Amino acid sequence: MTLSPADIDRWDSEQVRAVAMAARSRAESATAASEVLAQLPPLFGWTGLAAIAAREAITITRAGLDAHAEEDRALSRAIDRAADDIERLKSSLRALDDDAQAADLIIDRLTATVLPDNGFRGNTEQLAADTDAILARLNAIVAEANAVDAELAEAVAGTGIRFPTTPDPAALSGPEDRKTWWESLSRATKDALLEHDPDGLGNCDGIPVADRNIANLTVMNRDIDRVDQTAFDRGVTADEVLTHPERFGLNMTDAMRYISAVRVKGGIDYNRSQTGAEVLLYLYRPQEFGGQGRAAITIGDPDNADHTVVLVPGTGNSVANGWLIHNDEAINLYTETSVAAGLDRTVSVLTWMGYDAPDAIVDPRVAQSALARRGGAALASDVNALNVTHRGTTHVTVIGHSYGATVVADAAAGYGMRSGDVVLVGSPGTDLAATASDFHLPGTGHVYVGSAATDLVTNLAGVTTGPVGLGADPAADGFGSTRFKAEVAGWTPGSWTDHEHYFDNGSESLYSIADITSGHGAALQDHGMTAPHRDSILGPLATRLGLPDWSNPLTDPELTRPATTGHYHHRDHAS
């Protein structure tokens, strides 16, 4: 394979030297083991035939260890030479860039060609002369890079070293098989696989969340370092690289991945700083959905938690626009649930930005179910994978907010999502689920609903005309849900903001949700947090006439009840 200038840019001499250091370390370990073996017969006072046999076996083993040690030292020297060459070639390429820029030319990294920049003002003859001169130097650098690459490949091949690889994916038909395979490996083999195939393992269902986190952080940090290091090497800002990545040996994909990676890292750092808990990167696919990204962060390790909560957002959210950063909904939920659960129970909250949400309230897709159904299939897969890797038993609650409530309903009703309970807040409709029974929850499970009477989005639930509309209102009488209090204090007519207050500290809604997520949903009644369902506009008459059965906000019993605040669980009074 012929290298391009972009490949040279991506080379990292420090990473190469780290491999050389690892080879030297392995050589030292082999030598040390050989020296220990030499002391065994005298140490145990072996004599006679047993001693002769032992010495022969030890001699053979030592010869193999010594050969491995010398092989590793030779490999280390070859890798160090390659690292030196990489630094020299990268320096030459940077110098060539400077000369090209001075001549108002650009080196296209992917095609290894030289093009005029916008500022070039010379004639055709001058362009040809300048281009030929730069191109000749570029070709020489690329040729030398190919030689260095071939020499290093030959050195590695000559050692007989083989890195472990994942088995044929066809042999691993699901998360259960992948879990069995992963558990069969030694820790050293797992670590080697995570190092050499982080892209493949970070999003592999059936592998424990803590191990997926290692792989995903590796990929995320590479996405950040690729741009930051380029900016540092070229003496420019990261923003300049992102604006014109092709001028610096990168492309728009590198830029998109960087933007998502920075947002994800920001979310990890923020969640950790606000909770003090372990924060893990469960899902990381920065290029999905046209660069908007797909990711999921957990506060706490869901594989070990007594109570696992999955939070699904709604319209206008994505990885790239920063939903994972300053996500106080998840932080408030984690804190309140932890208190409600009690000191002897652990909690994990997974913020799942794993689907392509409608871009805004004016996005035509916001009133259609296509995105919800695709998102529901992905959500069901991820939630079910959590059940596979969890150690012991856990209570799983999946929460959907706004359009995310429709995603959750479709995941349960259409794609077999397995959860203990479901919570829908601010739901515009449940699409594939006509009633609570369509969620297929276990016998102890419930569909809980929080719908503020002043939330205009929830008042659209049940309004369906042809392909427009998102299905039944889960807060309506007859749906089969348990409705909890979720009114917002300080409401003013015409306000849309009440749709965004379901996770406010001290609110009726967050208090109620924490009862549910901590496994105490039955306590809602005792805590005075259940609410009456909405009435239909026409009541039973709608069904008899075959008319739409949407709810009537003007007949919502909660509309005239003053909202209350100051609701908090306390450690000494936890349910």
Largest Cα separation within the chain, whole Å, is 102
- The residues with which 299 forms a beta bridge, in sequence order, are 279, 349
pTM of the entire predicted model: 0.72
| Among candidate residues 430, 379, 441, the one with its CA nearest the CA of residue 403 | 430
Select from 1.20.1260, 3.10.180, 1.20.950, 1.10.150 the CATH code of 1-161: 1.20.1260
Sequence ranges of the chain with CATH classification 1.20.1260: 1-161
- Looking at residue 340, what is its pLDDT? 96
Residue type at 450 in one-letter notation: G
First to last CA, the chain: 64
CA distance linking residue 259 with residue 256, whole number of Å: 5
Phi, psi of 360 (to 5 degrees): -165, 170
Contact in structure between 200 and 182 (CB atoms under 8 Å): no
DSSP-derived pairing of the beta strands 294-299 and 395-401:
unpaired
Evaluated on CA atoms 259, 261, 264, 266, the torsion sign reads negative
E strand or H helix at 230: helix 209-234
Give every CB contact of residue 471 below 8 A, 6+ residues apart in sequence. Answer: 369, 406, 409, 429, 430, 431, 432, 433, 434, 461, 462, 464
Q: Of 456, 460, 423, nearest to 441 (Cα)?
A: 423
Tokens of 109: 């990294």
What CATH code would you report for 304-313+370-573? 3.40.50
Q: Which long-range contacts (CB under 8 A, 24 or more apart) does 160-164 make?
A: 160/71, 161/75, 163/192, 163/196, 164/189, 164/192, 164/193, 164/196
The token pair at 392 is 């012991």
Q: Per-10-residue mean pLDDT for the chain, 575 residues long?
A: 75 73 76 70 52 65 76 83 87 84 78 76 82 90 88 70 46 78 86 85 92 96 95 94 91 93 97 96 93 95 97 93 90 97 94 91 78 92 94 92 95 93 95 92 95 84 63 89 92 65 95 97 95 72 52 70 92 50
pLDDT at 283: 96
529, 485 Cβ separation under 8 angstroms: yes
Q: Report the pLDDT value the prediction gives residue 573, as an integer from 0 to 100.
A: 45
Per-residue pLDDT, 86: 87
Give span(s): CATH 3.40.50, the chain: 304-313+370-573
State how far the Cα of 323 lies from the Cα of 271, in Å rounded to an integer: 12
Distance CA 255, CA 274 (A): 29
> What is residue 399's predicted lDDT score, i.e. its pLDDT?
98
